[in-house]
């Protein structure tokens, strides 16, 4: 039986690659004990991981900004080859290369039947919804590894139709597990459509994915705001306008200089709870992006909020922020009749259609987010570089399967 290695959180600012057991077709103890399910999982499959990505949500944990314990395995952006399937797996077969939605979903509960796979009721005793390798998400082993177990495989896995084509486009297809659907969800729920003017807060990978998704949806102008020059340059590299939030001045004035008016049709918060105020040396202001997007969105607009907000933040700037209670100007949003969409992206609503866009060369998400391949052993350095603002989406290649 092959070995298995996984990236593990070792305390604020530190991760390591550790040896763990090869996965079994079994559910985690937390799920079994908390929900009264059977441990044996004949509905599951084991995947040899082709690619697995470092996500900004992982980075929140590694910074010590969640309640993740030391020893938490990491990784929820997974693409892999099926090497073993349980007896109850009917439609996915050994050898298939598949995208794995980061949402773990049973496919049988009320939420799954309504298409709300981000809040499945049967995969996490703590709250609706689960994910691989994430705090409070059911105890599922992370996918920044060599092998991983995927439950309810027929429902969760998205097989690619052609192996050779999949490997050829793997740097785009690896983004289907989370970042591309999440960015698309942000833009789509913000109401982006043909001719829209759009503001995306944050030029990290999710913000860049949201910006590219807005282009795919037909936006006329996409403006991306950030404080890191390299990330703003990356946004410009595929046709976005940018605003440098290190500069003083009102965001609405910066928007007006680009589109001729101080408002946009749609806005996306791709930053989340570690938001910082504007200007040189600005400190953390966790509600600032939410208030910004309400301020610069026209009356009647929708706001997509794929940026992560948490219920427990040990590093929060005050007691309210530490429990996710923020100073949001909800009265402003109410007065402007804004609509808000929050929460995990239900990946399965989008991943098949976005796969088709990639395979037909209608979307170039790897280029937009600057996909950068590193071996699994270099994951600690990847986390450090990402934390320092690298304008890259790090893709881990555990088995050397990514073509040169």
Does residue 197 contact residue 220 with C-beta atoms inside 8 Å? yes
| Cβ neighbours of residue 343 closer than 8 Å, sequence gap 6 or more | 118, 119
Q: pLDDT tens across 254-306, in order?
A: 999 999 999 999 999 999 999 998 888 888 999 999 999 999 999 999 999 99
Does residue 73 contact residue 133 with C-beta atoms inside 8 Å? yes
Which pLDDT score, from 0 to 100, does residue 278 have? Answer: 85
Which pLDDT score, from 0 to 100, does residue 365 have? Answer: 98
Q: CATH topology for 179-341?
A: Rossmann fold (3.40.50)
* Range 389-401 burial, b when 16+ CB lie within 10 A, else e: ebbbbbbbbbbeb
- Rounded Cα–Cα distance for residues 182 and 173 (Å): 14
Chain centroid to Cα 210, Å, comes to 11
pTM of the model: 0.97
For CATH 3.90.180.10, list the domain ranges present in the chain.
Answer: 5-178+346-396
Neighbours of 187 (CB within 10 A): 30
Please check whether the domain covering 5-178+346-396 is classified as CATH 1.20.1370.20: no
Q: pLDDT tens across 210-260, in order?
A: 999 999 999 999 999 999 999 999 999 999 999 999 998 899 999 999 999
Which pLDDT score, from 0 to 100, does residue 207 have? Answer: 98
Q: How big is the chain by its Cα radius of gyration, in Å?
A: 20
For CATH 3.40.50.720, list the domain ranges present in the chain.
Answer: 179-341
């Amino acid at each position: 039986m092959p070995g298995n290695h996984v990236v593990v959180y070792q305390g604020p600012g530190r991760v390591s690659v550790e040896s763990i057991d090869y996965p079994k077709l079994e559910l985690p103890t937390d799920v079994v004990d908390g929900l009264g399910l059977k441990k044996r999982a004949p509905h599951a499959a084991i995947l040899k991981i082709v690619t697995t990505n470092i996500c900004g949500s992982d980075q929140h944990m590694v910074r010590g900004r969640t309640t993740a314990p030391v020893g938490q395995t990491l990784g929820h952006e997974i693409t892999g080859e099926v090497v073993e399937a349980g007896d109850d797996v009917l439609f996915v077969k050994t050898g298939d290369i598949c995208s794995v939605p980061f949402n773990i979903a049973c496919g049988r509960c009320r939420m799954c039947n309504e298409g709300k796979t981000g809040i499945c009721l049967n995969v996490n005793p703590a709250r609706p919804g689960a994910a691989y390798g994430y705090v409070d998400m059911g105890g599922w082993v992370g996918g920044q590894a060599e092998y991983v177990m995927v439950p309810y495989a027929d429902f969760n896995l998205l097989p690619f139709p052609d192996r050779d084509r999949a490997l050829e486009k793997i740097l785009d297809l690896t983004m289907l597990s989370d970042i591309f659907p999440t960015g698309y969800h942000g833009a789509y729920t913000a109401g982006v459509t043909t001719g829209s003017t759009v503001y995306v807060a944050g030029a990290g990978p999710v913000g860049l994915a949201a910006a590219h998704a807005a282009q795919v949806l037909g936006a006329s102008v996409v403006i991306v705001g950030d404080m890191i020059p390299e990330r703003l340059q990356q946004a410009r590299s595929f046709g976005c306008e940018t605003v440098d939030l290190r500069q003083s001045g009102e965001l609405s004035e910066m928007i007006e200089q680009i589109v001729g008016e101080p408002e946009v049709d749609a806005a996306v918060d791709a930053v989340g709870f570690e938001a910082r105020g504007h200007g040189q040396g600005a400190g953390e202001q966790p509600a600032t992006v939410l208030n910004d997007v309400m301020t610069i969105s026209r009356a009647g607009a929708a706001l997509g909020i794929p940026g992560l907000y948490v219920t427990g933040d040990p590093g929060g700037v005050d007691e309210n922020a530490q429990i996710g209670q923020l100073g949001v100007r909800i009265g402003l949003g109410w007065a402007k009749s804004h609509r808000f969409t929050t929460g995990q992206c239900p990946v399965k609503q989008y991943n098949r259609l976005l796969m088709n866009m990639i395979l037909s060369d209608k979307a170039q998400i790897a280029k937009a987010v600057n996909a950068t391949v590193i071996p699994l052993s270099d994951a600690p350095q990847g986390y450090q570089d990402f934390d320092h603002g690298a304008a890259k989406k790090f893709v881990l290649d555990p088995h050397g399967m990514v073509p040169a």
